[in-house]
Structure 1
């Protein structure tokens, strides 16, 4: 039957399209239902275009410090429209690339909005208007709307910005990450509500481009999931750049007018203050897209707004699975991709292992960058582990000094009895590229001794990883 598939995947984001490709590689007949644009939020409105903006900001910042490198630079400036244009072109390129991969792997893409009418059956209808126009309009596919059947259905519908009552984005002065990615003009001042990866990255970008930025965070530290020591280092660096940070503070109310916003802030000591700014970015997390896809009709269980799954991404309903943001934290593209492959391989009968969430790295691409994997020092102690902690500063690394990036820290945490690497945490230049070395080590159950005997190339930033391990065992050589 033309409408019969082995697997139908609802959502063409990082988890969905990767699962589709792996399914096709395994000989399955696969279809992806997508309502807006392939590659999902990540490539169109998240991971990739934000990194394009941050790269522009990084270069602009370096231009302002040319003399530090023995260079002379004349006057320089920027047009925010050109910076945004580059970012959108990169998003379009990624979108087109995923479209090519669908064709290459003979995966059917059905354009429209999906609803699971019963196990094994998906009805596809007209798409509702997206939150914001995508960079690449969804093409009209050759497959018609209608009912499609598959033994296995994977839900990969992702998530959207969480909205707080009374501080609803208006697309003008109160932004989500959608609007923050495509500013019509450069704001002179802004308030960022929330200091997770999204909030801190936008704070870093706009500060680099000259805006007066204030970050308001409800918790006691910025980037709350990170190690306290790393977070404190990052905060000091961000404040040194002129970013104002208020922790244990809450945006209680926002007055919105044609002149901008007035954010009423409640502070931890019971006092309050009002911050006037051109814009406010709401970056207080995301919520899963679980509505209107038939979950209630077929009895799929949800917990705290997310689809409940087991270690192999199965829901409580036979033949229905969920991957990525819609299936819960951490909300990361690489977690979604891994779940997509794990899920489809389990469906194919392969011998796979459940994902170890403790080995999922996290990266924040602000200046300075922050990257981590595994347990923080506090979490390790709370788990009752006896630990050894190693630290190595960027100042002790020749490559970091040559790059003009002498501020930063690499921190490693080991089990004192077994030598197991429990966690690694970094702040500084290019640490988002370095962290994978520790992720591989943890996946291979590498001990401190094996890391110590590994030869790291010189001169590289990666040498600090080994030095941090050596320091945990009182053997550091360059400090």
Structure 2
């Protein structure tokens, strides 16, 4: 069994790389140890969005009177049905990847893949061990929930994101440790369906990678919804010997003991690089990640790596872009290296947050003289009509040349708006270009044009 390319891992990096390689006329095989689509489709991006949609529908029902709708009786969450729907969505997406593999004539080999030697992959499964060969081998094995020494997961009381999606019953209380996208999305979901939620964050602000104004606005909104937020706090120990969990948290003012039925560890991810044969074959590593060039080639001829196991943001869309660039280079094309400063980040709580490029603080630290424009959704006709006036759009431009440095949004549906900004920045659009680009009315996206205008003293609706 000899191929042009073998991809180990079928997540959004691996399966996208395989399909693009097939389109380019290469003979492809994908090795997958569990389910096609990887964590993203089966235990990450997709099923979490299904859970969040259920929470959003429940919130709509609870606020139906605000829209002039009277309901007979109160809404009730059927937790098992919510989980079942989420799993059904995930299963459907995984089957969609199966279809794409067949459509593109890609061989799928179930099992655990490992670099054996130059051009050789060893695959272990229930049928035993076999070897396949290829000119090029792409490692796309992704990541898993990271464990801290003080926060060991027993998968029952102290859990990771995977267990959070399939709990047998709705917990009465939950402590979420970590306030990145994973932690905040689960905090929002469980709080929305009636779980008492506390978020513990080590740094000074929640969603610490976001612009500080967005972070503070989100914190206000989540606190208003009933979530307890503890920043500048660190979990020192978890006692699970009793019925629930007793969590020792060190804060700026001392030490507290919190109690909850479940503790969710959302402190980032660890790379899946163990058992891949990297050390044995001399593949260079740095701080738990595979060292690659701009086209994802390792220091070993014929071996490449993409996705969570290499530099850059651990995001599905980043892995997909990396996979495409990697195989296009293998096929002899001349792809452009990925601009990691133009990668959108999204968090799908309510209100949503979306961002790309420099934060205001980062732009100043980089030496830019900046212009900042901010437009609140409270001044948006569409937001008012939708009953979603919380949040704003904040744009950052270089004062000298008008370069579009960054965008930071918080509000309803902003994850669908950020693509415009990513495209504009890719095309080197200036602030004045945005101002003169006519946006449809009434829409939430008008806030992008208005924020750009506000940065230059031309805003009409403020």
What TM-score do the two structures reach when normalised by structure 1?
0.95
1:477 and 2:460 aligned: yes
1:112 and 2:95 aligned: no
Partner of 2:136: 152
Partner of 1:382: 365
Return the alpha-carbon distance in structure 2 between the equivalents of residues 278 and 329 of structure 1: 35
Partner of 1:184: 168
User: How is 1:170-181 mapped onto 2 (pairs within 5 angstroms)?
Assistant: 170-181=154-165
1:298 and 2:281 aligned: yes
Return the alpha-carbon distance in structure 2 between the equivalents of residues 346 and 418 of structure 1: 34
> Residue 145 of structure 1: CA displacement?
4.5
User: How is 1:74-113 mapped onto 2 (pairs within 5 angstroms)?
Assistant: 74-113=73-112
Q: Deviations over 1:283-325 (max 9, x none)?
A: 0000100000110111111111111111111111111110001
Partner of 1:201: 185
1:217 and 2:215 aligned: no
Give the secondary-structure state (helix, strand or coil) at the position aligned to 2:136: strand
> Residue 329 of structure 1: CA displacement?
3.4
> Residue 476 of structure 1: CA displacement?
0.6
- Partners of 2:312 and 2:340 within 8 A in 1: no
- Partners of 1:15 and 1:338 within 8 A in 2: yes
Report which stretch shifted further, 151-160 or 320-329: 320-329
Return the alpha-carbon distance in structure 1 between the equivalents of residues 452 and 264 of structure 2: 39
> Residue 79 of structure 1: CA displacement?
1.3
Number of residue pairs matched? 461
Q: Deviations over 1:73-109 (max 9, x none)?
A: 1222021000000000000000000001000000001
1:392 and 2:390 aligned: no
> Residue 359 of structure 1: CA displacement?
0.5
User: How is 1:360-439 mapped onto 2 (pairs within 5 angstroms)?
Assistant: 360-439=343-422
> Residue 62 of structure 1: CA displacement?
1.0
Partner of 2:310: 327
Q: Deviations over 1:131-157 (max 9, x none)?
A: xxxxxxxxx9xxx84111111100000
- Partners of 1:391 and 1:410 within 8 A in 2: yes
Return the alpha-carbon distance in structure 1 between the equivalents of residues 316 and 108 of structure 2: 20
- Partners of 1:420 and 1:448 within 8 A in 2: yes
2:60 aligned to which of 62, 71, 85 = 62
What TM-score do the two structures reach when normalised by structure 2?
0.99
User: How is 1:246-285 mapped onto 2 (pairs within 5 angstroms)?
Assistant: 246-269=230-253, 271-285=254-268
2:427 aligned to which of 433, 444, 451 = 444
Partner of 2:447: 464
* Runs of 5+ unmatched residues, structure 2: none
Return the alpha-carbon distance in structure 2 between the equivalents of residues 208 and 332 of structure 1: 25
Return the alpha-carbon distance in structure 2 between the equivalents of residues 257 and 76 of structure 1: 36
Partner of 1:164: 148
Return the alpha-carbon distance in structure 2 between the equivalents of residues 41 and 329 of structure 1: 18
Q: Deviations over 1:27-49 (max 9, x none)?
A: 00000011111000001000000
Return the alpha-carbon distance in structure 2 between the equivalents of residues 334 and 386 of structure 1: 31
Partner of 1:15: 13
- Partners of 1:112 and 1:145 within 8 A in 2: no
- Partners of 2:150 and 2:235 within 8 A in 1: no
Q: Deviations over 1:2-38 (max 9, x none)?
A: x110000000110000000000000000000111110
Give the secondary-structure state (helix, strand or coil) at the position aligned to 2:133: strand
Report which stretch shifted further, 457-466 or 326-335: 326-335
Cα root mean square deviation, aligned: 1.0
Return the alpha-carbon distance in structure 1 between the equivalents of residues 87 and 394 of structure 2: 36
Partner of 2:39: 41
> Residue 166 of structure 1: CA displacement?
3.7
- Partners of 2:372 and 2:455 within 8 A in 1: yes
Q: Deviations over 1:406-447 (max 9, x none)?
A: 111100000000101000000010000000000000001111
* Runs of 5+ unmatched residues, structure 1: 128-139
1:339 and 2:322 aligned: yes
Return the alpha-carbon distance in structure 1 between the equivalents of residues 379 and 99 of structure 2: 46
Partner of 2:297: 314
